[in-house]
Amino acid sequence: MKKFRLTLPIGSLALMLAGLCGCASTPPPLAELARADTAIHLADQSDARTYAPVELDSAIMKLKQARAALVAEDFPVTRRLAEQAQVEAELAQAKVQSGRAQRSVQQLRESIRVLREEVSGVP
């Protein structure tokens, strides 16, 4: 019985140390945070506030949550949120490109309509 009592705390201590070593060996996902920050900055500079405000705001919120998780040293959550923020920012950039392309198409259609009216002589 004494042997069991002595083994249990040593085993528990070994498991706790293994868990702590596992956490300590996981580096903070600083590269993921930097990529998310860059993607958000690019989206904001590319007029995402006009074409994709929901996606941009979501990306900013997720990056803030990722930074809070970093402070709490919850690196898996930090990584996940940073990656999600990056994806949201890239989606915002894609929506900006799509919106600009749609605007260009609309302008071209209007130009074609005006030219047709001029050629046909219809006021």
Q: Which of 116, 18, 35 is nearest to 10 (CA)?
A: 18
Q: Which of 122, 50, 18, 35 is nearest to 86 (CA)?
A: 35
In a domain, 23, yes or no: no
In a domain, 63, yes or no: yes
Determine the Cα–Cα distance for residues 72 and 14; give it in Å rounded to an integer: 24
Q: How many domains does the chain have?
A: 1
Q: In which domain, by residue range, is 88 found? A: 29-120
What's the whole-model pTM score?
A: 0.71
In a domain, 96, yes or no: yes
In a domain, 21, yes or no: no
pLDDT of residue 80: 98
In a domain, 24, yes or no: no
Query: What does the pLDDT profile of the chain (123 residues) look like in tens digits?
Result: 444 444 444 444 344 444 444 555 689 999 999 999 999 999 999 999 999 999 999 999 999 999 999 999 999 999 999 999 999 999 999 999 999 999 999 999 999 999 988 888 765
* CATH of residue 68: 1.20.1270.390
pLDDT of residue 122: 63
